[in-house]
A and B are shown apart, each in its own frame.
Chain A
Amino acid sequence: MIVVDDLTKKYGATTAVDRLSFSVAPGRVTGFLGPNGSGKSTTMRCMIGLDRATSGTTLFDGRPYAHLRQPLVEVGALLDAGNAHVGRTARNHLRWIAASNGLPARRVDETLEMVGLQQVAKKRVGQFSLGMKQRLGIAAVMLGDPRVVILDEPANGLDPEGIRWIREILKDLANQGRSVLVSSHLLAEMAMIADDLVVIGRGRLVDQCTVNEFIDRHATKWVTVRSPDLDRLIELARATGLVPERVGDGVEFHGVDSSVVGELAAAHGLVLHQLASQTGSLEDAFLRVTADSVEYHGDSESKR
């Protein structure tokens, strides 16, 4: 269990993380979402003491990171897959990490096999692709078989097979009862992986809930209707104050429940071929909820 309480990180006059509080439950994958520059990576660094928090605490099963006797057994963190000496072999990279926490050398070979890098264990990290470095980073995380796993953008640079692999690993880790906190920009992927979400914007908590709750609360909802009496339905809808929007051979109603449209049609004896409630995706919900928190817009976005 991770409990982040009132965490604040300031760089001079800039507040990167602003009184952020959230928790990560065991046995669940918690997605950590936020626009670029929202403070996700800073938060993760503060959580494990790499950056000094200006105020606030992070507790891992009730203890601050600095008090963990064998940190790698408690918390495995991958913040940047590029954090490996290019001149060192994959095996030696894991050896020094394992040695630092007194972990047995066999864990090096076990984790290399687990991530599928045993064939290239004696190759220098400089010869690795980004995907291979991600796998090496995951191996380093798993050296201590930790109860808590923190990953910052673990799917970066992975091919589709690699992305599926990381998805399965994360789900397995959560199923084994570990607390998993993972940030990612791949929102469709996050929708498949995560059970819970922590969403931040400009360093502040925007929402913490399950993925389904988040979509339900923040995504666009609309009703799609197909009918042989479409013009009549549109006319009746406008007369009752609804705002129908013709899309192809159907019509959409935003901001109303499907029962309202269904009852309107029934009251006037109109035949309906389709009456469907629609909900936007996680991406839709995320973009809506963080619209005010995005610091850097592209032209097409800023014109919306």
Chain B
Amino acid sequence: MISTIRSEWIKLRSVRSNLVMMGVALFAPIAIVLLTVSFMELSSVSDVTIAELLAGSGTFSIMMLGVVGVLSVTQEYSQGTIRITLAATPKRLRVHLAKMAVVVGVAAVIMAIVLLVGRLAGSAILDSRGFGGSLGYDGEGAVYGALLVTAMVVAVLGCAAGTVTRNPPGAISALLLWPLVVESIVGGVLGVLIDGWKQDWMPFQTGLNGVLVSTHDLEFGRWGSIGYFSLWVAALSLLAVRLLRRRDA
């Protein structure tokens, strides 16, 4: 298993487009947070400001890490290397688990750096601009923890979506459009058709809502929402592994 993980890690970091996506996931949210705190009115800064900024820009980073997960799989199909991969490692479950392990690790490290740099540098900038108030609050750690976990879950989702579709544009489109468009439309239609329907039953949007600073309105709460989303991702991953094992390479 270690050999397979090492192999997948070499694959991921030896292609420029993957490095670009990882760079965007790392630097874009940090840049957004630091630029915002550098120029925003100090009067509008409160103890939740940095956490809110990190939750917003971190969601963008989460989607980019999902794309990294997609690319880690679909590149293999578009470039034909899946045949070498599966010939080198005939145990296909092991290949999928190794890919998941690598993208989950990358997602965790990138999100941890985003949170650490965003929080520390953001505070330093606000302090240097003369903001004297507190920049932390009791629930802050939960927001950062939710961002970290959701990034890892979406990276796993990317792997699963890539394995099911085997097509880079298709999987990336599905990943990005699903929470933004499909769940809104489907949820809206189901809301009309089913009495008592709740939009929080749409998994991806609910999962992403779990990273919000305020989670009072969530049907399942912060960790319940992320857990609910994770169950759907686990189900899709099981489908992906089943397809990977059954399909011809």
Contact = CB atoms under 8 A, between A and B. Distances in A.
Contacts of B4: 100
Contacts of A48: 87, 90
B90 A71 contact: yes
Interface core residue of A49, A79, A85 (most chain B CB under 10 Å): A85
B7 interface: yes
A88 B15 contact: yes
Contact of A45 (B3, B89, B249): B249
A14 B75 CA distance: 30
Interface stretch (A91-99, A220-228, A229-237): A91-99
A52 B92 CA distance: 13
Given A84-B79, A101-B3, A95 B90 contact: no
A52 B15 contact: no
A186 interface: no
A82 B80 CA distance: 7
A80 B89 CA distance: 18
B242 to A, nearest CB: 13
B243 to A, nearest CB: 12
A198 B137 CA distance: 75
A65 interface: yes
B71 to A, nearest CB: 11
B15 A101 contact: no
Given A95-B10, A95-B14, A100 B81 contact: no
A86 B16 CA distance: 11
Interface core residue of A65, A80, A85, A100 (most chain B CB under 10 Å): A100
Contacts of A95: 10, 14
Interface in A64-82: 65-66, 68, 71-72, 75, 77, 79-80, 82
B79 A85 contact: yes
A66 B87 CA distance: 9
Contacts, number: 83
Given A89-B14, A96-B10, A101 B90 contact: no
Nearest to B76: A85
B79 A79 contact: no
Given A77-B87, A100-B4, A83 B17 contact: no
Contacts of B198: none
Contacts of A45: 83, 248-249
Nearest to A95: B10
Contacts of A83: 79-81, 83-84
Given A66-B90, A71-B88, A92-B14, A80 B3 contact: no
Contacts of A99: 3, 6-7, 10
A13 interface: no
A193 interface: no
Interface in A51-73: 51-52, 65-66, 68, 71-72
A100 B246 contact: no
B216 interface: no
Contact of B89 (A75, A82, A88, A100): A100
A85 B8 CA distance: 13
A80 B81 CA distance: 10
A75 B8 CA distance: 21
Interface string B10-23: 11001111000000
B91 A97 contact: no
Contacts of A82: 80
Given A49-B90, A86-B79, A97-B7, A140 B249 contact: no
B86 interface: yes
A51 B249 contact: yes
Nearest to A140: B84
7 contacts: A45-B83, A49-B86, A68-B90, A83-B80, A84-B81, A95-B10, A99-B10
Given A85-B79, A88-B11, A99-B7, 16 more contacts: A48-B90, A50-B87, A52-B248, A68-B90, A75-B87, A84-B80, A84-B81, A85-B81, A87-B15, A87-B16, A89-B14, A95-B14, A96-B10, A96-B14, A97-B84, A99-B10
Interface of A: 45, 48-52, 65-66, 68, 71-72, 75, 77, 79-80, 82-89, 92, 95-97, 99-102, 140
Interface of B: 3-4, 6-8, 10-11, 14-17, 75, 79-81, 83-91, 246, 248-249
